[in-house]
Amino acid sequence: MLIAVAQAGFNRPFRIFLAACAVAVTPLPAPVFADSIQADLPPATVESTRGIVNDLMGQLGQKLKAAIVSDGPVAAVSVCKEAAPAIAKSLSVQHGAQVSRVGTRVRNPEMGAPNAWQKEALADFDSRLAKGEKATELEYWKVVNTDNGKQELRYAKAIVTQQLCVTCHGKAEDIPAPLMEKIRAEYPQDQATGYSVGQLRGAVVVTRALKPH
């Protein structure tokens, strides 16, 4: 299968390249060239995908803050457990897309573990961070020709650790004992501690079919 890849940061010109991936069993149609990929990804699609991400982060942030203020962080763990997948699911249905969050290290291995392309996105964020790009501006996308002859957009936006997040994702020894106990009880395989403010925590990931035109 031939995969065409386009990546962009908010403030940078497109970087576009093609990567060939030799997994096809049947002969391939003519390759898709980079400039046709840009045509295949109208600005409106990018904007609406960013909108889905902002919606998810906005709704989740609000729920999380409200729960911490009204009931404290221990109770907020349960809110997070219920609310995060519920919001992601409702946005997925609303937009006919698959929307979720993945982590560089993971608390919920069923919901939050990155798949192959999502790992690629996180690795790309890591290397761009090392080159001095701003964590809050990192985004990545890729258009893939699927086996049924359609095109799929795979989009990731970096999630950066903020002060609020360190409450539950900071160094384990800094997390108050009752909160740490609650996290360990709910997530025995938790890996998602040890983060500091400004660090890459993960990504919001969106997969959606591109309309043929």
Name residue, tokens 């908010």.
10
The closest alpha carbon to 182, from 70, 56, 80, 91, belongs to: 80
Smallest gap from Cβ 28 to ligand HEC, in A, equals 36
Cβ-in-10-Å burial (0-12, 13-18, 19+) of 206 comes to buried
Task: Name 157's bridge partners.
Answer: 139, 204
Q: Rg for the chain (alpha carbons), in Å?
A: 19
Q: Which residue is nearest to ligand HEC (CB)?
A: 112
- Spatial separation of the C-alpha atoms in residues 187 and 108, rounded to whole Å: 7
Q: Is 64 in the site for ligand HEC (CB under 6 A)?
A: yes
- Spatial separation of the C-alpha atoms in residues 28 and 53, rounded to whole Å: 34
Q: Which stretch binds ligand HEC (CB under 6 A): 12-20, 130-138, 140-148, 164-172?
A: 164-172
One-letter amino acid of 131? K
The mark string for 86-105 relative to ligand HEC (x by CB under 6 A, - otherwise) is: ---------------xxx--
Q: Is 159 in the site for ligand HEC (CB under 6 A)?
A: yes
Smallest gap from Cβ 153 to ligand HEC, in A, equals 20
4, 106, 138, 143: residue in contact with ligand HEC (rule CB under 6 A):
106
Q: Is 108 in the site for ligand HEC (CB under 6 A)?
A: yes
Binding site for ligand HEC (CB under 6 A): 61, 64, 73, 76-77, 80-81, 84-85, 101-103, 106-108, 111-112, 159, 161-162, 164-165, 167-169, 192, 201-202
